[in-house]
Chains A and B, each alone.
Chain A
């Protein structure tokens, strides 16, 4: 496999992007689900 992102700064930025996306997904799911409880 070719590692598409080699420099440390890009890796950190990708991790941050993914973390924010996952936070958004979990946040929205929990909000919509629990808000109706």
Chain B
């Protein structure tokens, strides 16, 4: 595919901090805002993780009181999911989707601005609850009643913050859908779209479908607390288990909202550094759609121990196992793309290969958890914590870091320092495994999750895990240094940046001009 024209005139950027960044409607500026926000939240959520790992460094209550510990686990999850991973992917979509489909901007630029600027308000509200009498939410990010209803004054603020985050996500998703469906360059048919665009289109549909479900669930919590309803109150004829069903009907697709764009990123990076076209493009698209569909019919595997009819347990067990098939197709296609390719191992490729191996480990432990009778043993243990951190840290977060290294030269016009990038990769990969792999052992040995103290037989692996956690956290400061150094200067990047890169985003100069594709390119 080739682009025949693009305009790079009309370069003037708005002057002044407020006009440039607060009032911006430019997709690249808004993408940058989202990415900076996500980075900030990664460090905020990471600091909470350090508090958790410091407390768990040895048995006994050491540093924080148990109630604050529970606030940390709850807030760490909410901040990382809604403040870091999701905004990072939305930031990448803002930057790259218009460039990849040959559009001059997102379809709804003003709404794009609003989607972003809701986030700081939502998180200001959420984080402020830590300072309120009674502290912040401490019932876990899943907010199960009746425990969640024990939250003090923070309760309505948390519910309000979640609603605002949801509105922000829904508006972002509508923008992505409207852009991809209506603003593609002439000749850019759906089946010519880059995989990152495809995975984001499907992710946006998932967001539209499930964010209102979360909103419904937390609104019902609110009315149960303040307006005398009994949706989840057994004493009033309600059912607390209903909340778990509604929450996980949102929650499982949410997991895929955080991983499908990662699949798209890996599908961009691997062909570039293998110098081969992606193996099985159409099967990748269908596999993504299949995973999205399956995500709606597996939710109760999160609640096997709650007490379900046997037929239900079996249905959710087998439907969950089915997900391994389209996921396997993807892993096979990435490996087949690398097969006999002229591979080089620059930092984005290292993170992509790290993703494929480590995400697959998370996938396999997921398969173990899918087996209902086995899950009765694993439920609420550190095995579950190990599983979802492999999927979300070495999966989603590694893909985001890989994407930043891959596209940073296009954004800034400078190459990052390759030696430092590779150092960052190896430090991250070694320590993330030191951090999370021992948690499998702890979980299998019976250590429950969400506890500030534990029996002495879990002491050794907890200490190892905490050391891994501190080192992994510190390694990310190197990432911050590399990014800032690249923004400030460095070797000039070429337009194509990577020898094996293909697609419209590489046809525009580096750094990408403020306005691109005002005249649509023609894709052949």
Residues of A participating in the B interface, judged by any CB pair closer than 8 Å: 1-2, 4-5, 10, 13-14, 17-18, 21-22, 24-26, 28-29, 32-33, 36
Contacts and interface: CB of A to CB of B under 8 A. Distances in A.
Contact of B515 (A2, A22, A36): A2
Contacts of B518: 2
B145 interface: no
B219 A5 contact: no
B213 interface: yes
Nearest to B246: A32
Contacts of B181: 13, 17
Nearest to B14: A1
Nearest to B204: A21
Contacts of A13: 181-182
Contacts of A22: 174
Contacts of B209: 24, 28
Given A2-B104, A36-B231, A10 B109 contact: no
B377 interface: no
B107 A5 contact: yes
Nearest to A33: B216
Contact of B183 (A1, A5, A28, A32): A5
Contacts of B162: none
B174 A1 contact: no
B25 interface: yes
Interface string B150-183: 0000000000000000000010011001100111
Contacts of A2: 10, 26, 104-105, 515, 518
B230 to A, nearest CB: 10
A25 B129 CA distance: 28
A21 B178 CA distance: 9
B170 A25 contact: yes
B75 interface: no
B108 A14 contact: yes
A26 B167 CA distance: 11
A18 B242 contact: no
A34 to B, nearest CB: 9
Contacts of A1: 25-26, 109-110
A25 B208 contact: yes
Interface string B207-243: 0110111011101100000000001000000000010
B515 A32 contact: no
Given A4-B104, A29-B215, A21 B183 contact: no
A32 B213 contact: yes
B103 interface: yes
A23 B251 CA distance: 22
B118 to A, nearest CB: 15
B103 A33 contact: no
A29 B212 contact: yes
Given A4-B103, A4-B104, A22-B174, A32 B216 contact: yes
Interface string B502-524: 00000000000001001000000
A33 B183 contact: no
B217 A10 contact: no
B106 interface: yes
A22 B108 CA distance: 14
Contacts of A25: 170, 208, 211-212
A21 B179 CA distance: 13
B216 A29 contact: yes
A24 B10 CA distance: 38
A21 B208 contact: yes
Given A18-B108, A33-B220, 6 more contacts: A4-B103, A4-B106, A13-B182, A17-B174, A17-B177, A36-B231
A5 to B, nearest CB: 6
Contacts of A29: 212-213, 215-216
Contacts of A10: 182-183
A9 to B, nearest CB: 9
A9 B98 CA distance: 19
B356 to A, nearest CB: 33
Contacts of B174: 17-18, 21-22
B438 to A, nearest CB: 40
Given A2-B10, A25-B212, A33 B107 contact: no
